[in-house]
Chain A
Amino acid sequence: MPTASKRGVGTILIAAVRLALAAFPYCESAKEEAVDFILQTESLSKVYPNGTMANKQVDFAVVPGEILGLVGENGAGKSTLMKVLYGEEAPTSGRIVLEEKSVAFSSSQDAIKAGIGMVHQHFMLVPSLSLAENLVLGQEPKRGRTSFFDLEKAVAITEELAAKYNLNVFARARVVDVSVSMRQKLEILKALYRGAKILILDEPTAVLTPQETDELFVELEALRKHGHTIIFISHKLNEIFKLCDRVSVMRDGRMIGTHKVADVDSQTISNEMVDREVILTVQKGKAAPGDKVLTARDLSYIDDFGITALDHVSLALRKGEILGVVGVDGNGQSELVRILTGSEKTLSGSVEVGGRDVTNAKPGDMRRAGLAHIAEDRMTVGTALPASIEDNLMADRYYKPTFTGHGGFLRREAMASSATEIVATFDIRCNSPKQPVGSLSGGNMQKVVIGREFTADANILVIAQPTRGVDVGAIEFIHKRIIEMRDAGKAILLVSSDLQEVMSLSDSLVVMNSGKIVAYFDDAASTTDKELGLYMLGLKKQSPEEIGRVLHEKQ
C-alpha cells in the first residue's frame, strides 16, 4: 500500500512537471509576440467512437504567412488535428478560430470555402484524367454559356497557375503517367485553385526522393512569399529546420510546445517528441552471443510508390543477443520486419532459419519455424480489438494439442487458465480476460501483445516499436522483459524509432538509411547518439566490409 501511494504521488509529480514544461514556451511566446493568429484551436479534443482520445485539449495557433512545422511520433494526433481543421472530423469539444471568428466545419467543403486546403499523404486524384481535368474537378470552366466542359480553358488555367507559383506540371498528361512529385504539385495547385490561403501538407516528403524534397521546399518558400500560410507535418527534424519558421510538437494527443525554429535545437524538440525527461536506465549484464539462428541475405523491396524501400539488406541474428536497428522512421525498418516475419515478400535474396530456407514463407510458417513477432502497430495488426484478451492471447497457439482436443473441439478451460496466467505474469490490468482488448489502455494492449509473443516458445523474437505510445510504467516493465528474453538465450531483432531505447537495450546495432544498412556496431556501447545521427541522416557510411560483419561469417 505505501509503495502504491508513493507511486501515485510520483505520477502526479511527473505530470505536474510535464505540464509546467509544456506551458513554459507559451508564456514566453505570449510576451514577445503580439501577432494575431490566422488559425487557432482552443482546448480542442477529439474522441473517436471507439473511445480513443486522439486530441487532448489542444491549443494550436498559426501565424499568417508562416510555415509552421508540426512534429510528433506516429499516433501523436497530428493527422487527427489536421482532419479536424480541414472539416473531415468534427471536434468532440473545444473550438476552431479562423481569423478571430469561431468556425464549425461540417465537411471539408466548408473548410475549402473558408480558405483552408489540405494535401493528404495519399493523393486524392483521378488517375485516368489529365492533370488539368483533375485540377478543375468540381469547379470546371464552361464553354461560353453552355454547360459543356472547356478543356482548353482548364489547361490554360492550370498552366497559368503553375507559372504563377512556379509549380511546373504537364497540364495535358494523365495522372497515371506522371511522377509522384508532380502529382503532389498538382494537389498543391488544386488547393490553390480553390482559393486556399492556408495549406496543410500531411507528411509531403514521405513519398519523395531527397532531390524532389529540395525542390518542394523551394516551391513552398515561394508560396510563403506569395503570402500563403503553410502547416507542414513531418517527423523528420532536419526538414523542419530547413524549412519552417516555427515548430509545434505533439505527443500522445497533447500539444507539448511551440518554438521559433531559430531559438531551438533538435535535441529539445526530439525530447519533447518522445518524452526524454524520464530516461529509464536499463539494467543488463553483458551479452553472451551464441550460434546464428537467422540469416537474411540481400533482402529488397519496392513499395507502392515505386520507391526502393529496402535495398539489399543482409543481417544475422545470434542466440542471446539483441541486434538493434536504428534509423529515422521510414528508412526501410518496417519493410525489413515485414519480410523477416513473412508478412511481405522479398524481391531478392533469402532468409534462413536454423539452416532451413524460409524465404517468403507465410507468417504461420515463420511462427512454426520458431519466430515470434511484436508488430509495430498494435491497433491494426498486433491485436484484434473487438475480440477478448483471451482470444487475442491464444491466436498463435489455439491449434496446439494443449488447446484443441480430438475432433477440433477447443479446450476452453485450458485456454482460460493459460490466458489468466499470462494476464497475471505480464500484469495486464483488466477486469477480466473475457474483456475486449479494445477497451484496454495502450500500455495494457501492448502487454497483451508482448504476453502472447514472449510465451510463444519461440527462439527468435522480432520486436518492432515495443513501447510506442506506452506509459512510463509499462515501458520499464517491457524493457525488463526484453532483457530477460535475451538472457534466456533468444535471438532478438529490435526496431524502434526511440533512439535512446534501442541504444540502451541492444547489444549490437545496425543503422539504416534509405533502405540500406549503412553501419554496423558489434558493441552498442561503443558508439554515441551523435555518431549514430550522422549515419541515420546518411552523412556517413561504413565500408561494405565493416557492414558485412553483421552476418558473422568467418572470412
Chain B
Amino acid sequence: MKSNKSKSRGLFGTIGLFFTDRDKLEPALITFLAAIFSILMGVGLIFIVSKDPVTSTKNFLLGPVLRTYNFYYLMIAMVPITFTGLALCIIYQLRYTSLIVDSSFYTGAIIATAIGVKLSLPAGLHPAVAMLAAGLAGGLIGLLPAILRIKWRANELVSSLMFNYIFYFIGSFVILYYLRDRNQTILASLPFQSTFSLPKLVQNTQLHAGFIIAAVFVVLVSIFLFRTRWGYEIRITGANPKFAAYAGIPVASVALYAHFVSGFIGGLGGAVEMTGLYKSFIWQMNPSYAWDGVIVAMLARKNPKFVPISAFFLAYLRVGADFMSRRGDVAFEFITLLQGLIILILASDKIVNYFKARRLRKNALLAESAVRGVAPKGGEA
C-alpha cells in the first residue's frame, strides 16, 4: 500500500512538474510574444511612414549591435530603468500601484546634485554619501502615499502622481534658486566637484560604475524579496492582505517598509545617474524613469531576477529607435507607441492567463461530466 502510494506520487509528481512549469511558462511565453508583436508592429509602422523603410528597419533592429558606441549607450540606458524597475517590483509584489518612485528618483538626483556641488569629500566617499543621502530621502518620500492609503484610504496611485508634481517643482526650485549656474544659458546646476564622479568602466566611453551598482542591486533585491522574512511578508501580504492579517503579519508596517525600500532604491538610482553620467544637473524636465520602470517591472513579471532582461529589451528598443531617427525620417517618439502596446497586452490578466483559464475551464467541465457519466450539453459559450 505504502510503496504503491509513493509510486503514484512519483508519477503525479512528474506530471505536476510539467503542470506547475506550465503555469509559469505560459505567462512568460505571452510576455515574449507581446514583445515580438510590438516589434513587428513597429516595423509595420516604419514601412508606413518611412521613405526608406528597409534602412530604417535595419537601423532600428540592428542599430544597437552594429555600432560599439551604441551598445555602450544601451548599457548606460539600462541603469536608471533597472533601478526604477526594481523599485516597482517591490511595490507590485505588495500589489500596490504607487508610482512615487518617480519622486524618489528625481529628488534623489537633486540631493545628489546638492552634495556634488556643495560638499567637499574625498573621492569614493563623495558619491557614496550622495547615494546614501539620496536613498534615505527617496525612502522617506516613498512612504508618503503608503501612509495616506493606510491612514485615510487614499488611493496611492492618485496621491503618488500628485506627489510627483510636488516633488518635481520642489526639485526645480532648489536647482533654480540654490544650485543654478548663472553663467549658463540653459537651466543647469553648478558643476559637480571632481571627487563626485563614479569611475568609468571602459576608457573613452560614458559607461560608468553605476552599471555594476545596478547589477548588485538586482541581486540584493532578489535576495530581499525571496530569501528574507521581510520579503516573505511583502509577498504574502501582496498575495492576500486579509490572509496576511489573519496569520498575524503586521500588514500596515509591511506596506510601510516595502515602500521605504522601494523609494530608497529609486532615490539611490537618481544619485547613481548623477554621479555616473553627468558633470552637472542639466535635466530640463523630469525624465520620468518611473514610467519606464513600470514597463520593466511588468515585463519582468515583478520578479527582480528578470529586470535586467526587460531593461535590456527596453533600452534596445530605445537605442535602436534613437539611432534610426537620427539617420532617417522616422521620429524617435514612435517608440512610445510600442511601449503602450506592450503595456496594454501585459496589463490584461485575461490575455496573460488565457491558456490557464481555458485549461482550468476544460478540466472542470470534464471532471463534472466524469462524475455524471454524461457529456456536457450545449456548446461552449
Contacts and interface: CB of A to CB of B under 8 A. Distances in A.
A15 interface: yes
B249 interface: yes
B228 A93 contact: no
B246 A382 contact: yes
Contact of A91 (B17, B246, B369, B381): B381
Contacts of A409: 227-229
B13 A431 contact: yes
Contacts of A43: 376-378
A1 B1 contact: yes
B58 interface: no
A93 B381 contact: yes
Interface in A347-387: 362-368, 373, 375, 380-387
Nearest to B3: A1
Interface stretch (B118-126, B319-327, B331-339, B358-366): B358-366
Interface string B196-233: 00000000000000000000000000000001111011
A363 B378 contact: no
A427 to B, nearest CB: 10
Interface in B305-345: none
B378 A93 contact: yes
B244 interface: yes
A410 B379 contact: no
Interface in B348-368: 349-350, 353, 357, 360-361, 363-365, 367-368
Best-surrounded residue of A366, A386, A431 (most CB of chain B within 10 A): A431
Contacts of A436: 23
A343 B229 contact: no
Interface string B4-20: 10000000110111011
Contacts of B4: 1, 4
A45 interface: yes
B236 interface: yes
Contacts of B247: 363, 367, 395-396
B67 interface: no
Interface string A157-200: 00000000000000000000000000000000000000000000
Interface in A109-131: none
Contacts of A383: 240, 243
Interface in B12-46: 12-13, 15-17, 19-20, 23
A367 B371 CA distance: 41
A1 B3 CA distance: 10
Given A45-B376, A363-B246, A383-B240, A410 B232 contact: yes
A541 interface: no
A403 B250 CA distance: 18
B360 A93 contact: no
Contacts of B378: 42-43, 93-95
A410 B233 CA distance: 11
B156 to A, nearest CB: 21
Contact of B361 (A15, A47, A381, A439): A47
A404 interface: yes
B227 A385 contact: no
Interface in A390-411: 391-392, 394-396, 398-399, 403-404, 407-410
A373 B233 CA distance: 19
B372 interface: yes
A342 to B, nearest CB: 9
A53 interface: yes
A253 to B, nearest CB: 8
Given A45-B376, A53-B368, A95-B378, A364 B227 contact: no
A374 B248 CA distance: 13
Q: Number of contact residues on A: which range applies?
A: 35 or more
B182 interface: no
Interface string A1-29: 10110000000000100010000000000
B245 A395 contact: no
A91 B381 CA distance: 7
B20 A432 contact: yes
A142 interface: no
A396 B247 CA distance: 5
Contacts of A104: 381
Q: Number of contact residues on B: which range applies?
A: 35 or more
Best-surrounded residue of B228, B236, B379, B381 (most CB of chain A within 10 A): B381
Contacts of A434: 20
Give chain A's interface secondary structure class: mixed
A92 B380 contact: yes
A404 B229 contact: yes
B229 A385 contact: no
A385 B239 contact: yes
A375 B243 CA distance: 9
B362 to A, nearest CB: 9
Contacts of B377: 42-43, 57, 93-94
Contacts of A90: 381
A19 B372 CA distance: 8
Contact of B249 (A4, A341, A395): A395
A505 B244 CA distance: 29
A399 B381 contact: no
Contact of B365 (A47, A407, A410, A435): A47
A381 B243 contact: yes
A367 B245 CA distance: 11
Given A19-B372, A431-B20, A364 B243 contact: no
A367 B4 CA distance: 39
A94 to B, nearest CB: 5
A53 B372 CA distance: 15
A22 B50 CA distance: 69
A421 to B, nearest CB: 15
B259 interface: no
Interface string B237-262: 00110111111111000000000000
A90 B350 CA distance: 15
B301 interface: no
A401 B13 CA distance: 31
A380 B244 CA distance: 11
A381 to B, nearest CB: 5
Contact of A432 (B16, B249, B361, B371): B16
A50 interface: yes
B250 A364 contact: yes
Nearest to A395: B247
A480 B37 CA distance: 56
B245 A408 contact: no
A412 interface: yes
Contacts of B371: 15
A1 B7 CA distance: 12
B180 interface: no
Contacts of A19: 372
B357 A49 contact: yes
Closest 5 CB pairs of A and B: A431-B16, A51-B360, A364-B248, A395-B247, A384-B239
6 contacts: A364-B250, A381-B243, A383-B240, A387-B235, A395-B247, A430-B16
Interface of B: 1, 4, 12-13, 15-17, 19-20, 23, 227-230, 232-233, 235-236, 239-240, 242-250, 349-350, 353, 357, 360-361, 363-365, 367-369, 371-372, 376-381
